[in-house]
Amino acid sequence: MGDHWNHNAHHHPLVLAEVPEGCGSALDVACGDGQLAGRLAAHVPQVTGVDRSPEMIRLARERHGGAGVRFVEADFLEFHDESRSGGYDLITCVAGVHHMDFAAAIGSMVRLLAPGGKLVIIGVARSRNPLDLARSAAAVPAHLVLSRRHGGARVPPGMPTTEPTMSWGQVRRAAERLLPGSAFRRHLLWRYSLIWTKPGA
């Protein structure tokens, strides 16, 4: 399957643009088939991808494993990495945080992030009011154009899916509480970005 386009992969350039200068280590949470981790490896010497799906980890190792990249099958909320006792310089998570308890996932990411490290989340939320629904509808033409340009949206076979339970507003308010000073932005293709730098560098 190789690199492929879908709504998550569409936002990989945004994630890559946030890699801190001199970043030595990155953790990709809910890494799926490893496409983002493989792309991060072009910018970061040591990249770890973690996912609880055995099938996704198998695909990740087949397609994107190599020098400086490793994939770990684990429930992220129980993940501990003794090899990175000082924390990661960058933690990413694309369309994975809604598979977990939001506050618990954010807490684990903060714990694993090194002082001065950056957290970059691309997330999915639920539309619950007319404004949210209107914004979601506005994304349909862009989806059709981009999907045609890339030969259709494709996802790895066996990719776990779940519907988000938190609304856009709930995510933004939770982020303000859990990650003071974070930048929340809603994007066109049914995604938001949440970017935060851990104090203490």
| Consecutive 10-residue averages of pLDDT for the chain (201 residues) | 73 96 97 96 96 96 91 95 86 97 97 97 91 76 69 74 93 97 94 96 61
Which pLDDT does position 1 carry in this prediction? Answer: 40
Residue 188: predicted pLDDT: 85
- State the Cα–Cα distance between residues 34 and 57, nearest whole angstrom: 8
Residue 139 lies in a domain: no
* Residue 62 is assigned to a structural domain of this protein: yes
162 domain residue, yes or no = yes
Residue 135 is predicted with a pLDDT of 79
Which pLDDT belongs to residue 56?
96
Residue 147 lies in a domain: no
* Residues spanned by the domain of 122: 9-126+155-197
DSSP state of 82: G
- Rounded Cα distance between 11 and 116, Å, is 23
Question: Does residue 110 lie in a domain region?
Answer: yes
- Whole-prediction pTM: 0.91
**Cβ pair 61, 40 in contact under 8 A:** no
Alpha carbon distance 163, 186 (integer Å): 18
**How do 191-197 and 113-123 pair as beta strands?**
antiparallel
What pLDDT sits at residue 81? 83
**Count of structural domains within the chain:** 1
* Of the candidates 27, 24, 22, 45, the residue with the CA atom closest to the CA atom of residue 81: 27
Asked if residue 143 belongs to a domain, the reply is no
- 8 Å CB contact between 117 and 198: yes
Report the run of H or E that residue 58 belongs to, with start and end.
helix 54-64
Beta strands across the sheet bearing 25-29? 69-73, 46-51, 25-29, 88-94, 113-123, 191-197, 183-187
pLDDT score, position 152: 67
Q: Is 4 inside a domain boundary?
A: no
Q: Specify if 76 maps to a domain.
A: yes
Residue 84: give its domain's CATH number. 3.40.50.150
